[in-house]
Chains A and B, each alone.
Chain A
Amino acid sequence: MSAVVSVRAEPAMGTVVTIHVVRPGAEAAIERAFGWFHEIEERCTRFDERSELMQLTTKIGVPVPASAILFEVVQFALRVAEESGGAFDPTLGGAMQAVGFNREHRTGRIVQATIAPEDGVTFRDVHLDQGRRTITLSRPLILDLGALAKGLAVDAAARELQPFADFVIDAGGDLYFGGHDPEGDTWSAGISHPRIEGRLIDALRVSDQAVCTSGDYERRVEGGGPGHHIRDPRTGASPGALASATVVAPTALLADALATAALVLGPVDGLQLLDRLGVEGLLLSPELERYETEGLRRG
């Protein structure tokens, strides 16, 4: 790794984003890559009442014209929601806020939406008009696009860096690996141990793939109460069948969404979803039993 030529880190999207590029001359591309993180965060954050996303929540029952970024993220989120039978649901924002996930954890700023989201809202309360590129919320709700927005930013950044072939984008553990490492090998992606902080439980060899992990160990409820930031949209509770779900996919957008969905679905249904969708994954139970797709280690 000593031959990585450019390394740059910046805080964005509630985490630290680090970009490593193997070849020289990537400064401008790296600059633009970080621009995507800031741009997408600005539009899709629910921690800023002025964001396009939060502005959207103030208009119920009317079609609201959306930027390409917001429209595409929402469209993709709804599609994943459907494919996962609601195990992934972007309308969870209200429920998250209700249980205390209303703090931008790096700045500590608390943002409480002015609307009162209704109980029982689902992704079916969000309607898109592709031709006009509008989003309509049929009931008061708050969209939570956090993970997907980060995934999209990683992917957009990866597009910027494509001419440099060999690079890694690390957005707080959401990873995209372009090409090969400085030694010409596939990159090595360590998987966090879900029970021992700072320890790896596995490592995967990847190239031109995103690797994202959702775990029950991330961002617990303020004050140490039960629960974490991943919820089962169908029950409102924190799912407990898996300690972590790692997904390897061609895009971080997809890997992020499916890691969340798989964590909610549990080992059997989760693995089935990944397999049906043609992506690879490693699921770990709280007892550290492993469930992995067949092609996970084929590289």
Chain B
Amino acid sequence: MAEHGSSRKVASSLVALSASAIIAVYAAGYVRTKPAADRLDLEAAARKRSALPPRVAPVPAASTSSPATPVATLPPSATPAAPQPAPATPVAREPEPTPAKLAAPVPSNPESKPAVSPSPSATPRPSPPKVEAPSPAPASPREAPAQPASAEPAAAPPTQPATAPLEEALEGDAVAHVAARAPGQYKDGTYTGWGSCRHGDLQVELTIQGGRIAWASIAKCYTRYPCSWIDRLVPEVVDNQGPPVTFISGASDSSDALYYAVLEALSMAK
């Protein structure tokens, strides 16, 4: 492409324009929100200080109020990395694994409802038992953690950035403020979580053994598409000891459902 070198001036001007737009916007916003930002910093610092002594009454595992652990306690490199499947190579991914893999037995769910056939390909239902069909937030059909008001897309208060109290964000864990945890920090048991996207809802089931995610499967699938394509992401839950975090450019909305479901299940396992 060397022949286009002479027109790189155009390039740099458009790149520069985008950069200057960001700076202009950021500067304008920052002036307006700096006091709030400073306040947040102070609050965060204060919280960290007060979090140092151990709590007298630890939150029960099943509580949905969630400990909202500030994430700072984990040194990034101190966590022994779980085997990472590294989506690195510039080649097409494997085709999705066989649905049979998901149908393997899972210890029974402590939450009464026996999982419907976990076979993902057979699941698309015309009328899923959803309670909040066009929910703006990643609604969970379960009672689950409270929806933080600040997380509703259309209902975001007309305020500047950074004005919402940090506590709100830290406590409203339905939409997932999750500290990636060192493997071994979850409580053993089987947990479920719901996730939603515009294609529908799905429920994931996680089994924690020895503090680690030992098994993940899609227990219920009420998406418009067969869930089989999500299967490929499920092994990543175990590999990553958390939601799949392969970053995909392009429409990835559907995988959000799995992401939320895993986060919700893990919030129960803390």
| Residues of A in contact with B (beta carbons under 8 Å apart) | 1-16, 18, 20, 22-28, 31-32, 34-36, 38-42, 47-48, 67-69, 72-73, 75-76, 79-80, 83, 104-109, 152, 155-156, 159, 168, 170, 172-175, 177, 182-183, 185, 187-194, 196-205, 211-213, 215, 217-219, 244, 246, 249-251, 253-254, 272, 275-279, 293-295, 297
Rounded to whole angstroms, the CA-CA distance of A32 and B37 in the bound complex is 7
Hey, what's the 0/1 contact readout for B187-206 against A, CB within 8 Å counting as 1?
00000000001100000000
State the interface size on chain B (CB cutoff 8 A). 101
Rounded to whole angstroms, the CA-CA distance of A202 and B133 in the bound complex is 34
Between-chain CB contacts (< 8 Å), 13 pairs:
A2-B84, A11-B136, A15-B253, A27-B72, A39-B29, A39-B161, A175-B247, A177-B247, A199-B232, A203-B90, A275-B1, A277-B11, A297-B90
B105: Cβ under 8 A from any A Cβ: no
Please name all residues of chain B whose beta carbon is closer than 8 Å to the beta carbon of A174 when the two chains form the complex: 249
Q: Are B72 and A25 in contact (CB under 8 A)?
A: yes
Instruction: Write the chain A residue with the least CB distance to B173.
Output: A8
Contact (A41, B156) CB under 8 Å given A192-B251, A215-B250: yes
Please name all residues of chain A whose beta carbon is closer than 8 Å to the beta carbon of B169 when the two chains form the complex: 8, 31, 34
Q: How far in angstroms is the closest Cβ of chain B from A167?
A: 11
Hey, what's the 0/1 contact readout for B232-270 against A, CB within 8 Å counting as 1?
110000001111011111111111100110010000000
Closest 8 CB pairs of A and B: A35-B161, A278-B11, A192-B250, A198-B229, A108-B134, A68-B28, A213-B250, A72-B21
Q: Are A199 and B10 in contact (CB under 8 A)?
A: no
Please name all residues of chain A whose beta carbon is closer than 8 Å to the beta carbon of B256 when the two chains form the complex: 9, 15-16, 172
Inter-chain residue pair count (beta carbon < 8 A): 311
Instruction: Write the chain B residue with the least CB distance to A249.
Output: B15
Please name all residues of chain A whose beta carbon is closer than 8 Å to the beta carbon of B253 when the two chains form the complex: 15-16, 172-173
Contact of B136 among A13, A106, A254, A294 (CB under 8 A): A106
Please name all residues of chain A whose beta carbon is closer than 8 Å to the beta carbon of B152 when the two chains form the complex: 11
Q: Are A13 and B153 in contact (CB under 8 A)?
A: yes
Q: Are A24 and B75 in contact (CB under 8 A)?
A: yes
Q: Which of A16, A68, A75 has the most CB of B within 10 A?
A: A16
Contact of B175 among A10, A32, A175, A213 (CB under 8 A): A10
Q: Are B250 and A23 in contact (CB under 8 A)?
A: no
Q: Are A254 and B158 in contact (CB under 8 A)?
A: no
B127: Cβ under 8 A from any A Cβ: no
Known A-B contacts: A2-B81, A20-B245, A192-B249. Give 7 more (CB < 8 A). A28-B40, A104-B154, A105-B198, A173-B253, A246-B249, A279-B11, A295-B1
Majority secondary structure, A binding face: mixed
Q: Are A168 and B247 in contact (CB under 8 A)?
A: yes
Q: Are A107 and B153 in contact (CB under 8 A)?
A: yes
Rounded to whole angstroms, the CA-CA distance of A155 and B23 in the bound complex is 9
Q: Are B1 and A9 in contact (CB under 8 A)?
A: no
Instruction: Write the chain A residue with the least CB distance to B154.
Output: A107
Q: Are A205 and B88 in contact (CB under 8 A)?
A: yes
Please name all residues of chain A whose beta carbon is closer than 8 Å to the beta carbon of B44 when the two chains form the complex: 25, 27-28
Instruction: Write the chain A residue with the least CB distance to B169.
Output: A31
Please name all residues of chain A whose beta carbon is closer than 8 Å to the beta carbon of B74 when the two chains form the complex: 5, 24
Contact (A202, B29) CB under 8 Å given A3-B76, A28-B41: no
Instruction: Write the chain B residue with the least CB distance to A104.
Output: B154
Rounded to whole angstroms, the CA-CA distance of A134 and B133 in the bound complex is 41
Q: Are B259 and A9 in contact (CB under 8 A)?
A: yes
B24: Cβ under 8 A from any A Cβ: yes
Rounded to whole angstroms, the CA-CA distance of A108 and B14 in the bound complex is 36
Q: Which of A10, A67, A244 has the most CB of B within 10 A?
A: A10
Instruction: Write the chain B residue with the least CB distance to A108.
Output: B134
Instruction: Write the chain B residue with the least CB distance to A9.
Output: B176
Q: Are B249 and A9 in contact (CB under 8 A)?
A: no
Contact (A246, B15) CB under 8 Å given A4-B245, A11-B152, A24-B73: no
Q: Are B247 and A190 in contact (CB under 8 A)?
A: yes
Rounded to whole angstroms, the CA-CA distance of A106 and B139 in the bound complex is 11
